[in-house]
């Protein structure tokens, strides 16, 4: 499912226009992004939580040349599924 299919699904299930569903989804994505940028977490009970973790600097290999390269430390988003989502899949 891509973004436009998700917007259509939200519009159909919520009985709202696709434009309103698109704005709602955009607003959700913006809120999650802003919270993660500040270092916070977003928890949706039963669905899961979004958080930020730090990845250490490490060395890797350039696949085309085989040369060793240094990969910088980075902050990466993380999603941990909740019990409700896990139960729905199993």
Residue 61 forms beta bridges with which residues? 68
- Please give the average per-residue pLDDT across 24-42, as a whole number: 96
CATH number of 3-89: 4.10.520.10
What are the tens digits of pLDDT across the range 59-86?
Answer: 999 999 999 999 999 999 999 999 999 9
What is the structure's pLDDT at 61?
A: 94
Compute the half-sphere exposure of residue 61: CA atoms within 13 Å on the CB side of its CA: 4
Choose among 61, 56, 60, 59: nearest CA to 76: 56
Q: What is the pTM of this model?
A: 0.79
What is the structure's pLDDT at 27?
A: 97
First to last CA, the chain: 20
């Amino acid at each position: 499912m891509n973004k436009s299919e998700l917007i259509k699904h939200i519009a159909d299930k919520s009985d709202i226009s696709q434009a309103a569903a698109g704005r709602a989804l955009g607003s959700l994505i913006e809120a999650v992004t802003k919270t993660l940028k500040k270092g916070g977490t977003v928890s949706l009970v039963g669905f899961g939580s979004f958080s930020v973790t730090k990845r250490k600097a490490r060395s890797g290999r350039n696949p085309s040349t085989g040369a060793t390269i240094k990969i910088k430390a980075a902050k990466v988003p993380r999603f941990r599924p909740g019990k409700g989502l896990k139960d729905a899949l199993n």
